[in-house]
Structure 1
Amino acid sequence: MASDDISQLVHALSKTHLGDGELSYKGLGLKLDNAESVEGLVQEIEQYQDLRALRLEGNTLGVDAARAIAKALESKQQLQRCYWSDLFTGRLRSEIPMALKSLGSGLMTAGARLTVLDLSDNAFGPDGVKGIDQLLRSAACHTLRELRLNNCGMGIGGGKILAEVLTECQRRSLAEGTPLTLRVFVAGRNRLENEGASALAKAFQLMGSLEEVHMPQNGINHAGVTALASAMRHNKDLRVLNLNDNTFTKRGTMAMAQALGHLRNVQVINFGDCLVRCEGAIAMAAVLREGLPVLKELNLSFGEITEAAALVVAQALVDKPHMEKVDLNGNCLGEEGCEALREAMAAQDKGDMLVSLSDDEGEPDEEDNDDEEEHEDEDDDDADASNGYNGCNEDDFVKENGMMANEESPSKSQCPEEVLSFLECPSAEKLLQLGEMRRHLLPEVNILHPHKAVDVLLKVASLYCEEPVVKTTVLETFDMLLRKLLSSSALQAYIITSTLLVLMGVLKGEGKRKKVALVPGHLLCLEHAVQQDYLAQHHASLLHCILSKNREALKSCSSSVDRLISALEKRCLD
């Protein structure tokens, strides 16, 4: 070892004891190649009687040096926290697993019981996960509370291995009466994709102890997001969920919204740069209105959310006393939309919580966005197929158990022929002839299949006219169906409402669903519904927010629009 290196190490060692049993070589930039290069370090470890934390991050460690350190660790039973991030810069990828195995062996021999293991920023790939396989399965990690593997290049293969290892650790720890209660899991920038994320989701579900999950920038789309959502429901103490820069789209956001509705301790949600979009934002608004009582931070930035949907989110924050930060930057609000959002937040005395909107992308170009969405849907389906997923189509809806229902394969209808005939070719005459059989329309508005349900609703509304008998029958039937659809959870009711607005052409949706030909009856039936008790004030606020911002889409029925907007304004003031 060169004399300059020895002097550097001696100087560093004089500053390594930081109290609380911590020995730190953090950020010294030492090149530790062999046993000779770590003689002083090893001596420090051996002489530290109550070593509880060892910080080696920011140096570069070779195989022989790792073996020497591991030998020193064999007597350190009280060691609990290993901060070993950024530890292998410039090393061959084949060296890293061997070094990790040595260090893990030292910990296991010592009988250490770790609470923190940080191996972030070590590009070790799937083989590196194999390097910590035995350690993570062992009793040394039954007490683990934080596992940090950010930016390690694990990939799908590494994610699967890690999931298997964590599952085995959970099984063994339960058998020994010391169940693994991992609280913090960090694995951003690892290219886990759907398969890796779904494998880890199964392990998370078994644990049920997570409080923080950070998995940003992993190439996960709706299939993997849905799996993670199902797992999060079983982690009741979850406080922080960071999935920034993955691809939710509507399907993933619906699943996450459903899961969040079951959690009471969440303080931070980061779904920035996740393509949440309008329908997803409205689903999140439903959960904000009904749950998440201690939420402090919400990030829905860069999600292609338009003004109306952003305002619905803002309205849903009214009863969030702990709120500190709301990020809706980088969306598609336009100048007027940005100002409207600022005003809406200021009206709730939350203006200072709103992050700058300086990166807003302006109002979207409808034609360009439609083309982009078609390509994205095709890309998602291709990705699902290549990863072995059947996927879900744009009509999927979240069941109460967190799973997905596929609208393209509903159970066979048991409707009488007269009802089926009406649905195939609706007319006022057929509706009147149904009489009491109109109740058979209720099973056709299944909350799990929102597009089909709303389609039936709009077919009925399209028959509205001023002829008394027809008008009464249409409104009674419309009430019966909409009452059922809005009587479910807030999330399901908001999804029905957003689906209705998408099919009417008022709200930008995803996919290739054809909009209905708008007629006055659609709006006049809604005007009637606004005055009924089954349509809550917050439903009226949602409708008013979106319809008033998109009157241009309803210009073919201008007089009916005026009546509906007027009724909504009155209801919002009640």
Structure 2
Amino acid sequence: MASDDIAQLADALSKTHVGDGELSYKGLGLKLDNAESVEGLVREIEQYQGLRALRLEGNTVGVEAAQAIAKALENKDLLQRCHWSDMFTGRLRSEIPTALRCLGSALMSAGARLTELDLSDNAFGPDGVKGIEQLLKSPSCHTLRELRLNNCGMGIGGGKILAEALIECHKQSSALGAPLRLRVFVAGRNRLENEGASALAKAFQLMGSLEEVHMPQNGINHTGVMALASAMRQNPELQVLNFNDNTFTKRGTLAMAQALRHLRNVRAINFGDCLVRSEGAIALAAVLREGLPVLKELNLSFGEITEAAALVVAQAVMDKPHMEKVDLNGNCLGEEGCDALREAMESMDKGDMLASLSDDEGEPEDDDEDNDDGSENEDDGDDVSDGCNDENGEYCETVKENGIKEDSPNKSQSPAEVTSFLSCPSVEKLLQLGEMRTNLQQQVDASDPHKAAEVLLKISSLYSEDQEVQTAVLETIDLVLKKLVSGSVLQSYCFLSTLLVMMGLLKGEGKVKKVSLVPGQLLCLEHAVQQEYFAQHHASLLHIVLSKNGEALKSLSSARDRLSSALEKRCNDQH
């Protein structure tokens, strides 16, 4: 080793922080190629009694150097925290797994019990995960609380290996009576995609101990998001959820919304750049209304959310006492929409919590949405808003957990007259049903919002000024709507947003067939919103959307204005 290199190392070592059980070589830029290059470092490790944390980040460590460091760690049984990010810069990818195996073997030999392992910013790929596989399965990681593997290029294969290692670690630690309780998991920018994310979801579900999950920029779409959502629900202590820059779309967002209903400790949600879109935003607004009591930060930026949906979100945060920041930047509000959102937040004395809107994309054009995730069409021509086309039925189950299930068995037993009416509705058939009209209530299930909205629009289209017909229609509408809006807030908001999409008042996802409306449908809603079963916040949702997109109903201006007036009165009614 050249004399100037030795002098550089000596100078660097003199700056290491030694104290509180921590030995730090952080950011020294040392090029550690062989045993000779780490002699001083190894000596310090060996002489450090009670070593609990070792920081090697910001240097570059070769295989021989790693072997020498590993030898020094073999009797450091008190070591708990390994801060080893960004320590293989310039190394061949084939070197890194060998170096990691050496270091891992030393920790296992020492009988160390790690609480934190940080290997972020080491581009080691799937082979690098194999390099730490045995360590992760060993008793040295039974006590692991924080695992950071950000920007490691793990890929799908690495994600699967990691998931299997964590599952095995949990299995073995549980057998010893002290199951793995990982609290922090960080794995952004790893190209995990759906398969890697789904594999990890199984590990997360098993552990149930997570408090923070950071998985941004992983190329995950709704399939992987739904698997992760199911796992998040099984982690009741979850506080931070960061899935920024993946592709949720409606199905993924609804799954996450369903999971969030069950989590009481979440304080930060980052779904920015996730294509949440308007229906997804409204679903999340529903969860804000009925849950998330300690939420402080909500990021829904760059999600193709329109003005009306953003305003629904803004209104939902009104009663959140801990809320500090709402980020809706980069959506599709338009200049007037941005002003309306700022005004709405300021009117609630929450203007300070709204993040900048400087990157707003402007109002969306009136064209058909492309596919959910920009990839293959999985809907076989069916309407995306139906939501029950997913081959695994996962999306259906996501929504149906809010549904009123006790009516399901009765559907097949409905009288033929009811089935006939629904297939081809007419005034005559409705009147002939008589008391059997109550069976129509069994035909609607808010866990299938598209079908429910379809039934409601069919019935309300029969409205007329004839007193007998009007009474029959309104009584039936009350029966049906009372059921549809009496479930959870999430369930009712999913139904209402689907209804609004079908009416052409809200921009939906996918090719949604809009209904040709008649005045009676709006007049039935005018009646319904004045009833006791129709909550004020439901009326508020409709009022916001109608007030922003009322031009879509200009051909029905008289009925539209009556509905708008009834909604405004209901929203202002404090009783």
Normalising by structure 2, report the TM-score.
Answer: 0.95
CA distance in 2, matches of 1:92, 1:550: 58
1:177: which partner in 2? 177
Pair 1:205-2:205 in alignment:
yes
SS in 1 for 2:374: helix
How many Å apart are 1:377 and its aligned residue? 6.5
Query: What is the CA–CA distance in structure 2 between the aligned matches of 1:247 and 1:527, rounded to whole Å?
Result: 37
* 1:36-62 C-alpha deviation (Å, 9 max, x unpaired): 111110000000001111000111111
Q: Contact 2:191–2:217 at 8 Å: present in 1 too?
A: yes
- What's the counterpart of residue 105 of structure 1? 105
CA apart distance, 1:4? 1.7
Aligned to 2:344: 344
Instruction: Report the CA distance between 1:443 and its aligned residue.
Output: 2.5
Contact 1:223 1:391 in 2 (8 A): no
User: Could you tell me which residue of structure 2 aligns to residue 335 of structure 1?
Assistant: 335
1:48 partner letter:
Y
Tell me the residue number matched to 1:440: 439
Distance 1:79 1:540 in 2: 59
SS at match of 2:213: strand
Give the Cα separation in 1 of the matches to 2:18 and 2:229.
40
Query: What is the CA distance between 1:244 and its match in structure 2?
Result: 0.2
Equivalence for 1:269: 269
| More off after superposition, 228-237 vs 444-453 | 444-453
Question: 1: CA distance between counterparts of 2:162 and 2:398?
Answer: 28
SS in 2 for 1:550: helix
Deviation at 1:438? Answer: 1.4
CA distances 1:388-443 after superposition (whole Å, capped 9, x unpaired): x964699846246599x9xxx99974322211111111111110011122122222
Q: Distance in 2 between matches of 1:504 and 1:296?
A: 35
Q: Which amino acid aligns with 1:498?
A: S
Partner of residue 471, structure 2: 472
Q: Which residue of structure 2 lines up, in the alignment, with residue 91 of structure 1? A: 91
* Equivalent runs, 1:127-206 vs 2, <5 Å: 127-206=127-206
Please tell me the residue identity of whatever aligns with 2:12: A
Aligned pairs for 1:99-498 (under 5 A) are: 99-367=99-367, 370-373=368-371, 376=374, 378=376, 391=391, 396=396, 398-399=398-399, 401=401, 413-498=412-497
The aligned residue for residue 46 of structure 2 is 46
Structure-to-structure mapping, 1:16-27, within 5 angstroms: 16-27=16-27
Counterpart residue number, 1:562: 561
Distance 1:359 1:411, change over 3 A: farther
| Structure-2 change in CA distance of 1:359 and 1:121 (3 Å) | same
> Which residue of structure 2 aligns with residue 508 of structure 1?
507
Deviations, residues 218-247 of structure 1 (Å, cap 9, x unaligned):
000011101101000111010000000000
CA 1:161–1:410 in structure 2 vs 1: closer, same or farther (change >3 Å)? farther
Paired with 2:490 and 2:450, the residues of 1 have a C-alpha distance of 15
Pairwise CA distance, 1:179: 1.3
Question: Contact between 1:32 and 1:38, CA under 8 Å: does it hold in 2?
Answer: yes
The 1:152/1:410 distance shift into structure 2, 3 A limit, reads farther
User: Counterparts of 1:371 and 1:501 in 2: how far apart (Å)?
Assistant: 16
Name the % identity.
Answer: 77
**Pairwise CA distance, 1:21:** 0.9
Q: Can you list the C-alpha shifts for 1:184-217, whole angstroms capped at 9, x where unaligned?
A: 0000000101111011001001101000000000
CA separation of 1:94 and 1:374: change in aligned 2, threshold 3 A: closer
> 1:565 deviation in Å?
0.7
Tell me, which stretches of 5 or more residues in structure 1 are unaligned? 383-388
Q: Per-residue deviation at 1:573?
A: 0.8
CA shift in 2, pair 1:380/1:10, >3 Å: farther
Cα distance in 2 between the residues matched to 1:411 and 1:300: 40
* Letter of the 1:233 counterpart: R
Q: Which amino acid aligns with 1:138?
A: S
1:257 offset after TM fit, Å?
0.4
Q: Which amino acid aligns with 1:550?
A: N
Please show how residues 514-529 of structure 1 align to structure 2 within 5 Å: 514-529=513-528
- Contact (CA 8 Å) 2:401, 2:447: kept in 1 or not? no
CA shift in 2, pair 1:381/1:88, >3 Å? farther
Structure 1: distance between partners of 2:568 and 2:276? 28
Seen in structure 2, the aligned counterparts of structure 1 residues 136 and 397 have a Cα distance that, compared at 3 Å, is closer
**Gaps in structure 2 of 5+ consecutive residues:** 381-388
Q: Deviations over 1:364-401 (max 9, x none)?
A: 0112xx1534783735679xxxxxx9646998462465
Q: How far off is 1:177 after superposition?
A: 1.6
CA distance in 1 between counterparts of 2:296 and 2:372 reads: 35
Change (3 A) 1:16 1:379: farther
Q: Structure 1 residues 112 and 395 mapped into 2: Cα distance closer, same or farther (>3 Å)?
A: closer
Task: Give the SS at the match of 1:548.
Answer: helix
Check if 1:536 corresponds to 2:546: no
Q: Which residue in the other structure is 2:28 paired with?
A: 28
For 1:11, the aligned partner's letter is D
Give the Cα–Cα distance (whole angstroms) in 2 for the partners of residues 63 and 377 of structure 1.
42
Question: Residues of 1 paired with 2:192 and 2:474: CA distance?
Answer: 51
For the residues of structure 2 that align with 1:402 and 1:531, how far apart are their CA atoms? 25
Query: Post-superposition, which runs of at least 4 consecutive aligned residues in structure 1 deviate over 6 A?
Result: 392-395, 409-412
RMSD value over aligned CA atoms? 2.0
1:571, distance to aligned residue in structure 2 (A): 0.7
Name the CA distance, whole Å, in 1 between partners of 2:231 and 2:530. 40
TM-score (norm 1): 0.95
1:520 is matched by which residue type in structure 2? P
Q: Quickly say closer, same or farther: Cα 1:225–1:402, change in 2 above 3 A.
A: farther
Distance in 1, matches of 2:410 and 2:74, equals: 62
Match of 1:378, SS state, is: coil
Q: Which amino acid letter does the alignment assign opposite residue 518 of structure 1?
A: L
Deviation per residue, 1:57-88 (Å, 9 max, x gap)? 11111111111100100111111000000111
Q: 1:513 deviation in Å? A: 2.1
Distance verdict in 2 for CA 1:285–1:548, change over 3 Å: same
Q: 1:251 touches 1:397 (CA, 8 Å); kept in 2?
A: no
Separation of aligned partners in 1, 2:563 and 2:394? 29
Q: How far, CA to CA, are the matches of 1:294 and 1:236 in structure 2? A: 13
CA distance in 2: counterparts of 1:545 and 1:394, whole angstroms: 31
CA distance in 1, matches of 2:397, 2:318: 27
Amino acid at match of 1:142: H
Change (3 A) 1:393 1:411: farther
C-alpha contact 2:181 2:210 (8 A) present in aligned 1: yes
Q: Give the direction of change, closer, same or farther, for the CA distance of 1:130–1:511 in structure 2 (3 Å limit).
A: same
CA–CA distance in structure 2, aligned partners of residues 397 and 502 of structure 1? 22
Residues 246, 274 of structure 2: 8 Å contact kept? yes
Measured in 2, the distance between the counterparts of 1:438 and 1:176 equals 61
Structure 2: distance between partners of 1:501 and 1:495: 10
1:527·1:564 contact (CA, 8 Å) conserved in 2?
Answer: yes
**Contact between 2:226 and 2:394, CA under 8 Å: does it hold in 1?**
no
